[in-house]
Amino acid sequence: MKKIATVSVLALAALSLNGCGTTTGERAGSAALMGAAGGALIGSLSAQAGAGALIGAGVGALGGYLYDQHEKGNID
């Protein structure tokens, strides 16, 4: 029960941060938080929530950075 509550709170936090930021750091940071929440959610299914959160944070930060660069017109 505790695991479900934790995952629910993380998922809710990720949804509330969706689309936050106008600078590169803000976008990468909010995407990293969303990725960490998603990774923890997926990782918790196999009792590896910590590893999932770390992987999700890294992927989210990279995605947020790439999205920011695309919005600025630096990449297609």
pLDDT value at 1 more than 80: no
Among left, alpha and beta (phi > 0; psi -120 to 50; other), residue 21 is left
18-59 pLDDT, tens digit each: 556 778 888 888 888 888 888 888 888 888 888 888 888 898
Residue type, 4: I
Phi, psi of 22 (to 5 degrees): -125, -20
* pTM, full prediction: 0.67
Annotate 18-54 with b (16+ C-beta within 10 A) or e (fewer): eeebeeeeebbbbbbbbbbbbbbbbbbeeeebeebbb
| Radius of gyration for the alpha carbons in the chain, expressed in angstroms and rounded | 13
Who wins on pLDDT, 53 or 11? Answer: 53
pLDDT value at 8 more than 80: no
